[in-house]
Amino acid sequence: MRITVSKRDHGETVLPIRFSKLLSEILEKPRAGSFLVQGRGGGGKTALLRALQLSVNDAHEAPKTVFLDARKIIKEAGSADAVSVLRRRVDRDAPGLIDTKDNVIVFLDGLIGTDSERPIIEALSQLLARNEPTLVIAFGIDHYELQADSNDYPPTPYLHNRKHDRTVDLKAISVNDDALATAVIGGIVRTSGTSTSESPEAIIAALRTLGFLYLNHFVVSIYLHNAGKMAFEGKNSSAFVIQSMQNLYGDLYGRFTSRQFNLLCVAALRSYCRILVKSAGSPELATAHDRYESDFALFPRIVQTALIAKAVVYIRPSDRLQSPRYLDCQVGMMTPQKRPPPDFSGSGSSLGRKQTNRSASGEEIRAEFWPPLAIIQKMSDWSQRTNSASG
């Protein structure tokens, strides 16, 4: 893993930084500090925060530390008071800290830059007001980009508008950089808790065979967890990722049908294309949506694009557009209309075509069918933008 630092408050100078240097800077500012660790999904943000926390705990006269997962807190809080949820989490990691003036460093993981996170940060500041905590924040840039595309978010996430003592950017490593890739894989194997008899060199060779262009914590981790569960022959990186996600789906939910996993892929597609209806659709699709949001939505871009590609293949038009699979999965778009839907045909738009059917009860149902070609083009445009941004 290469760690670089970007001093955004003094231009865009990007320089390498050692782990020990970052650790010392955090320890030197145990009150009212802010450090932003950002990178794309699977880049090792969580691993870096955990390593920093362990090192802080081992330091002489160390401040107290708390590790918080923002996504879990948001999910647990729901419409309830975020302060009460945070109080339980803080008491777990640092009993007796609240209402003292002890120094504390809070490692806040899982932020993706959306407005739903702001109340958590505000509640944390309120709860630990006497401690003036230093925050070390992990921010998934690509997750924000994906959500911004589908939800009209501002181009700049609120985290970039906050003042930080240091911003650290985690970069992926080229699979063809032998020396650096070998060192990175060796480090991940030692710290992942996964036993393997393969050497770093053998792992690099396997990843090259699969067609992976870069290494990060996620890519190496899914290889280590799935290498013994599938044959590589004839597989590319996307097929390997899909098979890995199917293995995970089975681990989480037990025996499953191909349709259940395909609907999970459709849920991924629906999440990132604004042209798709946001309604839950059928009960099956609603279940797939819940499972996707709970366990797959925060996986990195390499997973999201693989799931979306599989969804597009699954819902592609066939000779029979009336097939239940197409009507049910291509957007979950068959919804009874109490008023005429927007008319796209008059403008000469080629994106969708409309079809009217009758339900079993005779109720008129309108659906709009969006060709997978339009969906693929949208995903291709987005992928090119993000690849340019990360290049």
DSSP symbol at 66: E
Tell me what pLDDT residue 171 has: 81
Are 98 and 87 in contact by the 8 Å Cβ rule? The answer is yes
Query: What pairing do the DSSP bridges indicate for beta strands 2-6 and 14-16?
Result: antiparallel
Tell me what pLDDT residue 373 has: 46
Cα separation, 232 vs 207, in Å, equals 10
Tell me what pLDDT residue 222 has: 87
Neighbour-count burial for 313-323, b at 16+ CB within 10 Å, e otherwise: ebbeeeeeeee
Cα separation, 132 vs 119, in Å, equals 17
Angle at 227 between CA 222 and CA 230, to 5 degrees: 110
The token pair at 128 is: 């630990």
Tell me what pLDDT residue 326 has: 40
User: How do residues 28-87 score in pLDDT, each as one tens digit?
Assistant: 999 999 999 999 888 889 888 998 999 999 998 899 999 999 988 988 887 667 899 999
Residues with pLDDT less than 50, the chain: 1-2, 4-13, 319-373, 375-376, 379-380, 382-391
Nearest to 109 by CA among 99, 119, 122, 121: 121
What angle in degrees, to the nearest 10, is found between the helix axes of 70-77 and 118-127?
90
Q: Which class for 292: exposed (0-12), middle (13-18), buried (19 or more C-beta within 10 A)? A: buried
User: How do residues 236-283 score in pLDDT, each as one tens digit?
Assistant: 888 899 999 999 999 999 999 999 999 999 999 888 776 665 555 688
| 304 Cβ contact partners less than 8 Å away, ≥ 6 residues apart | 146, 268, 272
Tell me what pLDDT residue 331 has: 39
Are 21 and 165 in contact by the 8 Å Cβ rule? The answer is no
Tell me what pLDDT residue 151 has: 67
Cα separation, 155 vs 164, in Å, equals 19
Three-class DSSP category at 196: coil
Tell me what pLDDT residue 301 has: 82
Q: Which contacts (CB < 8 Å, 24+ apart) does range 372-380 have?
A: 372/312, 372/315, 372/316, 372/317, 374/275, 375/269, 375/273, 375/275, 375/308, 375/312, 376/312, 378/273, 378/275, 379/272, 379/273, 379/305, 379/308, 379/309
